Chains A and B, each alone.
Chain A
Amino acid sequence: MQSSRAIEIWVGLFVAAGLIALFFLAMQVSNLAELKSNDSSYKIVARFENIGSLRVRAPVSVAGVTVGRVSSISFDNQTYEAVVEMRIDPKYDTLPIDTSASILTAGLLGEQYIGLTPGGADDHLADGDEIELTQSALVLEQVISRFLFSKAEGSGDKGGGESGGAATSTE
């Protein structure tokens, strides 16, 4: 058994090490540092026909810079649209009122996020405003089926003399 002073020092070091580890996890590993300015953020709303697989907490970016996050997603029973609420960092409070919002995908397999494109109006978006110009998410299945349809139609038109589908599939 060591003297009580040595024990106290060791316990102090232990508790400090544990707290430092927790602090490291909070600051270096998690997103706590970004969340801090959240309380004074302002809210804007956008309606989409289809949000694809957009999730709550997905980033909202302008010109590739994250300016906020999606705070809630709900469904409007009257218009059958998805209502997406975003909280924007108060630093970025000069977005024009005719800003448009589109749902984009980061990379081929990445997660979906909202990209805002500023318009040219002089008035700025304020808390609770709604973005009128929206563009739905690109659903991969729809894109592929549209591509295949147009491909099939195209080969039907010009491939009259050729020997059908086998030639087009090798293109």
Chain B
Amino acid sequence: MLAPFQQLGYATLSTLQKLGRANLFICHVVMGLPEILRRVRLLLAQVYSVGVLTILLVSISGLFVGMVLGLQGYNVLSDFGAEQTLGVMVAASLVRELGPVVTALLFSGRAGSALTAEIGLMKATEQLSGMEMMAVDPVKRIIAPRFFAGCLSMPLLASLFSMVGVLGGYFVGVGLLGVDEGAFWTQMKSKIDFYDDIVNGLIKSAVFGVIVTWIAVFEGYDAVPTSEGVSRATTRSVVYSAFAVLGWDFVLTALMFGGD
């Protein structure tokens, strides 16, 4: 009769334990920062595999998202005779929401899952314990460069996404649908505020970068060291990242844009 309560208690305790482990882990990773700054090459190699290899995915997705926004926005706005505000609509939705959020989701699928699988496999094949045997701290040597590379890459990728998206919206709106070019840019410039929109979008993408990479490296480090455990950890990494990004997006939007 008490079995359901025991299960509930077990689930609660293990979730809290995992949260605690994740927080201790992130403290350990952040303490590796001075070492990273002394050996920048480790970081660069990770920025390459985490950031550079994601550019193509992010820019192509951004282009299509921007073009779809251009088409859909034109359809709705032309009903009100307000096609000229198409630029505002495209730029505002990209810079405020879609840029950071969609980039974070793509980033967790492309780079986060790879990080989890890589670290999980290193753990499964006992490379991490091998390093510990050689008195090399695997968290500082392996995890910290990957974590900071992810945090650094996300804002850059999100900016790239927004820029390519705005150009995609421009291409469809001005090039194909015949919205006035001057109105497209000047309305955009007068309505999009640098601090309220662009800096807030940048803060969002930085927060998502920390969240996604944190989840990815922690799930890899915390994986059960078997092939099944690594595959589960990879799935969890992507699923938890998606939940966390969308949830935090609501919180951040409420804080940034919900005030007035």
Using a CB–CB distance below 8 Å, which chain A residues touch chain B? 2, 4, 7-8, 10-11, 13-15, 17-22, 24-26, 28-35, 57, 59, 109
Contact = CB atoms under 8 A, between A and B. Distances in A.
B193 interface: yes
Interface string B12-55: 00000000000000000000000000000100110110011001
A59 B202 CA distance: 26
Given A21-B159, A30-B198, A11 B192 contact: no
Contact of A11 (B44, B160, B189, B202): B44
A18 B156 contact: yes
A11 B197 contact: no
Interface residues of B, number: 32
Q: Which of A15, A30, A35, A59 has the most CB of B within 10 A?
A: A30
A28 B156 contact: no
A18 B198 contact: no
Given A14-B52, A31-B192, A25 B156 contact: no
- B contact face: mostly helix, strand, loop, or mixed: helix
Q: Which of B156, B157, B162, B185 has the most CB of A within 10 A?
A: B156
Contacts of A24: 163
B155 A35 contact: no
B193 A31 contact: yes
B188 interface: yes
Given A11-B44, A18-B155, A30 B160 contact: no
B166 interface: yes
B193 A17 contact: no
A13 B157 CA distance: 12
A18 B193 contact: no
A35 B189 CA distance: 11
A21 B48 contact: no
A14 B51 contact: yes
12 contacts: A11-B51, A11-B52, A15-B47, A20-B163, A22-B202, A25-B166, A26-B194, A28-B166, A29-B166, A30-B95, A31-B190, A34-B189
B91 interface: yes
Contacts of B157: 18
B55 A30 contact: no
A133 B32 CA distance: 64
Contact of A28 (B45, B164, B189, B190): B189
Interface string B177-207: 0000000010011101110011000100000
Interface string B202-222: 100000000000000000000
A130 to B, nearest CB: 26
